[in-house]
Chains A and B, each alone.
Chain A
Amino acid sequence: MRIPPSFYYSMGRFLLFIAIEAICIVMASNNGIVQQYKIVGKIRDIQALFWEAGNNVKAYSKLKSVNTELAAQNMKLMEENMKLRQHIFKMNGDSLTGMLLSQGVLSDTSFSYDWAKVIKNSLNTTHNYIVINKGRNHGITEDMGVVTPNGVVGIIRAVGKNHSYILSFLNQKQQISAKLGDNITFGPLSWDGNSIGYATLNEIPQHVPVSPGDTIYTSGYSSFFPPDIPIGIAESSKIVNGMHRAVKVKLLQDFRLLDYVIVVKNNHFKEIDSLSGKIITE
């Protein structure tokens, strides 16, 4: 039987289609945004100039909201400052230093901080990212955490000379370790993917009571973020699969208002990373 040439033609088109789809799937599954940032770093540098200019214009339009947020932050800092002053007043300086040293507060050199300005903040996909105006030239490296006084922003995944790319917390692939209130219950916190103001704290044991209004903090069980940074407020909770509790968390940080962020450098990251590597190889 003779096979008509049109069969080969259709088969060729089909194979071409499958091959292209396979290439695309490999690219997408291989954490496409980071890969893209690395491949087209030069284009990104040029784009960054436009983003910076556009961001300056945007910054004017959101000044009112930013001011309100700054005023709230200021108020919180003043309250904290007053409480600390009262503590200092109650005890003499030496005993305070002694107390702080015994609690490891003054000797904690695990983390150091630097600030950066957000020049690009994507919000309208399920794989959002942020670009900041500091990079390798400013001592920024991959795997540094990024926070604000209102919570976690993301983790740096790619670094250019003068810009860095952050995998935003508003990204399906991002999970951070968070704890519930002041107790030791912790679990993975991830964006709910639906609204930019909410996240879900998973794997909280059923017996742990969750009250609306409980604050969620970073647990400190990751090498990216220091402990006790407030992230959000628990709104409600439900039992999932009859095993764990999933807590709906309202994020304290409004990602639409991100302007300046704090880059967190874990000074012991390499040591922790190499130890983790050793454990995996063993």
Chain B
Amino acid sequence: MNNLKYVILGIFLLLIQLLISGYINIWPMLYIAVFPLLVITLPYTCNHIVSILTAFCFGLLVDILSDGVLGLNAAAIVAIAYFRPLLFKVAVSKTTLENTIEITQRTIGTTQFLLVTALSYAIFFTIYIALDSWGYFSFIYTIARFLLNIIINTAVALLLWKSINSQIFR
């Protein structure tokens, strides 16, 4: 039953991502990526290797079905999955993690959730931008793109998570 929640969440995020990629043109430099939320919110107890493989398959699926370059989203989301345990150790206290299975704003706290999400997007966009346009733009421009994407995506992810979380993780 618990796995079913994550399957539903994955399908939902995939559909939103396809809609955003296909029909919303804001600015070529701004990439709205909501699908990493699946990996960020996987249960803390989820096996590390399972989460890496889940991230790879999910990222590849997004690449295949959306406008992405094959392997680009997959590489970026796999990096989140790999560094996830470390991010939680840095951002959330040990006692909170011991009593937490589902990762939500309610279970780990809004500030901690915000921090984990922002750090996850920082990892995501480090890989994404490096693979997407390494050396193509100036350093300042790349840094501006990196920061803008982290800020906007963290805000979008929090808003989205707030609205879907109560529906799926009731």
Tell whether, in the assembled complex, residue A256 and residue B25 are in contact, meaning their CB atoms are under 8 Å apart. Answer: yes
Tell whether, in the assembled complex, residue B28 and residue A124 are in contact, meaning their CB atoms are under 8 Å apart. Answer: yes
A-B contact pairs, 23 of them (CB 8 A): A16-B52, A17-B52, A20-B75, A20-B78, A21-B75, A21-B79, A23-B71, A25-B71, A27-B71, A32-B63, A32-B68, A36-B70, A43-B65, A124-B24, A124-B26, A124-B27, A124-B67, A125-B31, A125-B67, A125-B132, A126-B28, A127-B132, A195-B28
* A20-B26 CB under 8 A given contacts A25-B71, A172-B136, A193-B136: no
* Contact bitstring A35-57, B, C-beta under 8 A = 1, else 0: 11001100100010000001000
Q: Who on chain A is nearest to B69 by CB?
A: A32
Chain A CB within 10 A, most for which of B49, B63, B71, B74: B71
Measured between beta carbons, the chain B residues less than 8 angstroms from A28 are 69-72, 75, 131
Q: How many residues of B contact A (CB 8 A)?
A: 36
Q: Does A196 contact B (CB under 8 A)?
A: yes
Q: How many residues of A contact B (CB 8 A)?
A: 37
Q: Who on chain B is nearest to A47 by CB?
A: B65
Instruction: List residues of A (76-92) whose CB comes within 8 Å of B's CBs.
Output: none
Q: With A and B bound together, what is the CA distance between A172 and B65 in angstroms?
A: 21
A-B CB proximity, top 6 nearest: A27-B71, A24-B75, A32-B69, A32-B70, A24-B71, A28-B71
Tell whether, in the assembled complex, residue A194 and residue B29 are in contact, meaning their CB atoms are under 8 Å apart. Answer: yes
Q: Specify the main secondary structure of chain A where it touches its partner.
A: helix
Tell whether, in the assembled complex, residue B52 and residue A39 are in contact, meaning their CB atoms are under 8 Å apart. Answer: no
Tell whether, in the assembled complex, residue A27 and residue B70 are in contact, meaning their CB atoms are under 8 Å apart. Answer: yes
* A33-B70 CB under 8 A given contacts A13-B49, A193-B137: yes
Give 8 A-B pairs besides A21-B79, A28-B72, A32-B63 with Cβ atoms closer than 8 angstroms. Answer: A17-B78, A24-B78, A32-B69, A124-B21, A124-B25, A172-B133, A193-B29, A195-B28
Instruction: List residues of A (159-208) whose CB comes within 8 Å of B's CBs.
Output: 170, 172, 193-196
Tell whether, in the assembled complex, residue A194 and residue B71 are in contact, meaning their CB atoms are under 8 Å apart. Answer: no
Q: With A and B bound together, what is the CA distance between A270 and B48 in angstroms?
A: 52
